[in-house]
Amino acid sequence: VDSPNSGDHLDDRPDLTDEFAVIDRLRVRFEAGARSLYPHQAFPPAGDTWIGDDAAVVSIGAGTGTDARGVWTTDLVVEGIHFDLGICSLDDVGFKALMVSVSDLAAMGAWPRYALVSIAAPSGTDLDLLGEGLATAAELAECAVVGGDLSQAPTLVVSVSALGILRGETPGGPVLRSGARPGDHLLVTGPLGRSAAGLRLLRGGQVQDGPATAGLAGAYRRPMARLREGETARLAGATAAIDVSDGLVADVRHLGRSSNVGVALDSLPVADGASEAEAMGGGEDYELLMATPDPDRLVEAFRSAGMASPLAIGACTSHPGQYSRAGLPLPSGGWRHGF
Amino acid sequence: VDSPNSGDHLDDRPDLTDEFAVIDRLRVRFEAGARSLYPHQAFPPAGDTWIGDDAAVVSIGAGTGTDARGVWTTDLVVEGIHFDLGICSLDDVGFKALMVSVSDLAAMGAWPRYALVSIAAPSGTDLDLLGEGLATAAELAECAVVGGDLSQAPTLVVSVSALGILRGETPGGPVLRSGARPGDHLLVTGPLGRSAAGLRLLRGGQVQDGPATAGLAGAYRRPMARLREGETARLAGATAAIDVSDGLVADVRHLGRSSNVGVALDSLPVADGASEAEAMGGGEDYELLMATPDPDRLVEAFRSAGMASPLAIGACTSHPGQYSRAGLPLPSGGWRHGF
């Protein structure tokens, strides 16, 4: 249940005061409230994952005589923060809102089945165009939009909640952020920095009009959730994963902190046309960062599925709190929005 | 998946152009996108209810070897539209945001199990106070907040997605808007107009400080979803239900239209301190409007459960599109936000 950092990838940090601390306090408060609902059980119930990962895993079958579990997330995009209507259109906004939400499911190895859309929009907003983008993304994600809510508001805000399942004959559990172990290899599903570079080009007016999905601008306007990659990684034994929404530097720390490992990066796959800084800190690429003790198995699984090979970028270490690149400490930074 | 109309209960209508038509077009577009996902099945799958009711009913067990179904909704509240921070506090906002969402589940006869909260908030917003209200409402609704998302935004928007189940040994199906038949009796779970009257008193400065939940002001600030009532109505054979969020006049029409029946009201339970107009059009009461062929059974079920008796207000007729009160046509009006 994570969100992109900001449309301003690199330097404009949101100033919600002490956001990490606020989210930790909210987590404590929400868990305290829920604990009384499970007086005679492990808390959260065994197999569930609640606050603290890309998505929540909930026992939807409880009380219905089955053990079905859903993987469930919500993400919101806000005008002026996550998108700028001067450089993308309303169908891009709808597309992105749905994709960033299902990207959280991709990071768990889950597949989206259903989505609900909440739209707060200024009067006169072309909701058909917004809906076209939502529907297009839903089709690509093979997910049905089954309801929603609509309100007038001074600023456009689109929140998408997505509900998914773990597919496969022996689905096992989801891929959490917390499962990486020292020695695990780290890989990403593709080169980084495309979205940030696209934003830079769009802001500079350096983009020729073309297909909305094309090139770096397309990576910013219409990111693609790595659903097949996430599911493949889960079935190939990945121990942890996270989508690179806040930027590699931030998301490496999220994964390391959740798994209680350090991270040593030794390689940085920079996308063509992107800078190293954009690849390190840009975010909104929605590539997956994956940990595995057996990278050959992961690479082979991707190859068998006809997907581009994942790219090795480093390894997990037994030094929690230590994050390095080529032996030098990683810059700090990273803002967490999901909880 | 329905929402309150507006903080301005009676006269300030949102001016999203032609909102009914927009939502109908979105529904068509989303269904067209999803249809290809179910090429060899009934669409939506048998037992599912998607766009068009208070909440969506989805086969979360599909693909996992079970037939578990979830009842799922999203609702959002927007500063200046659904609440005014001059007359309610941030914990009231959190409380209301959660309650209006689970109220949609109440109307289906479902019980909330989990909630996700999406918060878009201006810098400096006291998120702990907002979270306190969310958590308090979640405890009352016996529902666990299992995740969320947070972003900076110029205007406070809180969207809550709630996932529930149909409880009971023989749960049967949910109570839809569409199940009422001519001759069915209509009842409401309580007198109407409390929230609108509370808003009027708060705006007029006529409220003494007191417990946040007290009296008419409390009905506006901290509405209570009728969860036990909705579940009891389902198990007692109610054929249709809707929560009175948009106002009785509007919600009678929603139910009538979905069920293809007319409605003849013969009684109006006006809350103490509320005007007749507030009871008819105010909305945000979150009482349930229920249809049943056997009102005695419903009344007895409520009595056995120790709840206040539901109040008879009229009946369904075999004249779709005709809505009357004491023989006179109901005023038109009513705005639909959920879909």
Residues of B in contact with A60 (CB under 8 A): 60-61, 68, 70, 113, 163, 165
Name the packing angle between helices A295-304 and A227-235 (round to 10°). 130
Residues of A in contact with B76 (CB under 8 A): 118, 120, 149, 151, 157, 159
The reply to whether B339 touches chain A by the CB within 8 Å rule is yes
DSSP-based three-state secondary structure for A198? helix
Q: Give me the total of CB pairs closer than 8 Å, taking one residue from chain A and one from chain B.
A: 326
Structure tokens at A19: 């956001």
Name the percent of chain A lying above pLDDT 70. 88
A339:B147 CB<8 A: yes
| pLDDT at position A179 | 96
Which of B56, B127, B337 lies nearest to residue A116, judging by beta carbons?
A: B56
H-helix or E-strand spanning residue A255 = helix A248-259
**A243 touches A107 (CB < 8 A):** yes
The reply to whether A33 touches chain B by the CB within 8 Å rule is yes
Tell me the nearest-neighbour CA distance from A23 into chain B, angstroms: 9
The reply to whether A56 touches chain B by the CB within 8 Å rule is yes
**A330 touches A252 (CB < 8 A):** yes
B16:A121 CB<8 A: yes
Tell me the nearest-neighbour CA distance from B261 into chain A, angstroms: 23
In the block, which residue shows the tokens 């089945």?
A113
pTM: 0.91
The reply to whether A339 touches chain B by the CB within 8 Å rule is yes
Choose between A59 and A144: higher pLDDT.
A144
B123:A155 CB<8 A: no
| pLDDT at position B2 | 41
Q: What does the alpha-carbon distance between residue B26 and residue B50 come to, in Å, rounded to a whole number?
A: 13
DSSP-based three-state secondary structure for A108? helix
What SS3 string covers chain B? Answer: CCCCCCCCCCCCCCCCCCHHHHHHHHHHHHHHHHHCCCCCCCCCCCCCECCCCCCEEECCCCCCCCCCCEEEEEEEEEECCCECCCCCCHHHHHHHHHHHHHHHHHHHCCEEEEEEEEEEECCCCCHHHHHHHHHHHHHHCCCEEEEEEEEECCCCEEEEEEEEECCCCCCCCCCCHHHCCCCCEEEECCCECHHHHHHHHHHCCCCCCCCCCCHHHHHHHCCCCCHHHHHHHHHCCCCEEEECCCCHHHHHHHHHHHHCCEEEECCCCECCCCCHHHHHHCCCCCCEEEEECCHHHHHHHHHHCCCCCCEEEEEEECCCCCEEECCEECCCCCCCCCC
B74:A165 CB<8 A: no
Neighbouring-strand partners of residue B264: B315, B324
Residue partners of B131: CB distance under 8 A and separation at least 6: A25, A26, A29, A30, B94
Strand order from edge to edge, sheet including B144-152:
B56-58, B70-78, B157-165, B111-121, B144-152
Residues of B in contact with A116 (CB under 8 A): 1, 56, 72-74, 161
| pLDDT at position A324 | 96
Q: Which of A3, A13, A64 to mutate to test the interface with B (most CBs of B within 10 A)?
A: A64
CA distances from residue A104 to A72, A176, A258, B290 in whole angstroms, order as listed: 9, 11, 16, 38
Mean pLDDT, chain A, integer: 88
Comparing CA positions, the residue from A250, A232, A193, A192 lying closest to residue A2 is A250
Nearest CA in chain A to B136: A33
> What digits encode the pLDDT tens for the residues B248-296?
999 999 999 999 999 999 999 999 999 999 999 988 999 999 999 999 9
Handedness of CA B63, B68, B71, B72 (dihedral sign): negative
B163:A70 CB<8 A: yes
Q: What are phi and psi of B194, to 5 degrees?
A: -65, -45
How would residue A44 be classed by pLDDT, with cut points 50, 70 and 90? confident
Residue partners of B210: CB distance under 8 A and separation at least 6: B217
**A219 touches A198 (CB < 8 A):** yes
pLDDT of A11 above 50: no
Q: Using the 8-state DSSP alphabet, how is residue A240 labeled?
A: E
| pLDDT at position A170 | 67
pLDDT of A95 above 80: yes
Comparing CA positions, the residue from B103, B125, B137 lying closest to residue B212 is B137
pLDDT of A245 above 80: yes
| pLDDT at position B17 | 45
Mean pLDDT in order along chain B per 10 residues (339 residues): 36 49 89 88 85 87 67 95 93 98 97 96 95 97 95 95 86 89 98 94 80 81 97 97 94 95 96 94 93 98 98 98 94 62
How would residue A337 be classed by pLDDT, with cut points 50, 70 and 90? low
How would residue A225 be classed by pLDDT, with cut points 50, 70 and 90? very high
DSSP-based three-state secondary structure for A250? helix
Q: What does the alpha-carbon distance between residue B165 and residue A61 come to, in Å, rounded to a whole number?
A: 8
Tell me the nearest-neighbour CA distance from B146 into chain A, angstroms: 5
pLDDT of A62 above 70: no
Structure tokens at B199: 């808003």
| pLDDT at position A167 | 86
Q: Is the peptide bond before A293 cis (omega within 30 degrees of 0)?
A: no
A148:B1 CB<8 A: yes
> What digits encode the pLDDT tens for the residues B127-173?
999 999 999 999 999 999 999 999 999 999 999 999 998 887 766 78
Choose between B220 and A42: higher pLDDT.
B220
B16:A60 CB<8 A: no
pLDDT of A16 above 60: no
Q: Which of A6, A75, A146 to mutate to test the interface with B (most CBs of B within 10 A)?
A: A146
Region A125-133: mean pLDDT is 96
A157:B120 CB<8 A: yes
Q: Which of B8, B117, B151, B176 to mutate to test the interface with A (most CBs of A within 10 A)?
A: B151
